[in-house]
Each structure stands twice: as C-alpha cells, then as structure tokens.
C-alpha cells in the first residue's frame, strides 16, 4: 500500500469535537486522502469506544474562519 503524500494540506482554526466545543484547535487536513486498512480502522474505533468519547457532533457553518492552503 502506498502511503506517500503530497506536500499540500489545509489548515484552519476550529474547536474540539466534544462538548463544550469552545476550545481553540488548529486543524490540519491533508490535501490527498490517506488510505487505511480495515485493521487500522478497527483499532481506531476500538480506542474511541474504550475511551467513552464520540466524534459525531453536528457540523458548523464556516463563519469567519479562514482556511489556509499550504504547499
């Protein structure tokens, strides 16, 4: 499986994914998708379930957030 990335990503200021959702978080998003195996996905899901956290909050409008493209 090829795990090479381009040198491009996006970043923006947002908040945490759990209530109270008001913490300042600097998000980084790869331009190119990263392919994971079923084993990787299952491992991540097990960590989330065992920690009692969720990551399924509603999406928010962009508002005045600035998305920056890096290359």
Q: Which of 6, 26, 27 is nearest to 71 (CA)?
A: 6
CA distance 6 to 29: 12
> What is the arithmetic mean of pLDDT over 25-51?
85
Cis peptide before 20 (omega within 30 of 0): yes
CA distance 7 to 30: 9
Question: Residue 6's pLDDT is what?
Answer: 65
pTM: predicted TM-score of the whole model, two decimal places: 0.56
Report the DSSP beta bridge partners of residue 12. 27
- How sure is the predictor about 20, in pLDDT bands with cuts at 50, 70 and 90? confident
């Amino acid at each position: 499986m090829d795990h090479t990335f381009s040198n491009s990503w996006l970043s923006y200021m947002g908040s945490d994914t759990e209530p109270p959702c008001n913490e300042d978080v600097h998000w980084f998003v790869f331009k190119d998708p990263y392919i994971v195996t079923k084993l990787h996905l299952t491992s991540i899901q097990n960590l989330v379930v065992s920690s009692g956290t969720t990551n399924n909050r509603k999406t928010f409008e962009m508002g005045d957030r600035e998305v920056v493209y890096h290359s």
